[in-house]
Structure 1
Amino acid sequence: QYATQNAQMTQAQKDDLRKQIQTNLQNYEQVASQIQSIIDTNEAEVMQRIAPKIQAIKENIVRQKNIDVLIDNRDRTVSYVKPEWDVTADFTKAINDQVK
């Protein structure tokens, strides 16, 4: 509306249209935030219900396929490391030795 009628609009009409646009944007942002909150809540509830099943499936596949390291393709995190490959304690000890 502004683009097509800009030349014929008074400053008051332009200001009113600008306020309407700002209000609409605020309403949109509020609704978008509410929708995202609902999505996050629902996703958390679903994950809470299925997480134990996913864990059992993962452990079974790791055992069957003799997997050493499993990386989650979604966020590139390591979701499993064979215990003998876990060097966390070694790093922690080395860091603590350096800090002393």
Structure 2
Amino acid sequence: MISSAIQYPHRTAEDSTGIAATVMKFWLKRKPRLLHDYSLAGYILSPNPTIMAHASDNKTLHHDGAAERLITKLLVDPSLVGNDWTIQRAKLIRYLL
């Protein structure tokens, strides 16, 4: 499969033997394991200027939710309860996002 994609790179994505189709098959196979909270948050919180520009134009609520879940999981003090927990979580999310 890969060798035919390399031999015939001029084929289009609609052609099931082209390099674009081969890459898409690989992506679709691995997508569920690659799209998780860490990768989505890493995308929108990246310090790389190119990625920052792309993320600001293309991020969705799914990305924001992933970042909020990670901030809550990794940074909010687990010993806090009730209103204190909510306040600290809100401050961190506002600060980081």
Q: Normalised by the shorter chain, which TM-score bucket?
A: under 0.3
* Structure with more strand by fraction: 1
Relative contact order, CA 8 A, sep 6+: which one is greater? 2
Tell me the TM-score normalised to structure 2 length.
0.27
Q: Which has more radius of gyration?
A: 1
Tell me the TM-score normalised to structure 1 length.
0.26
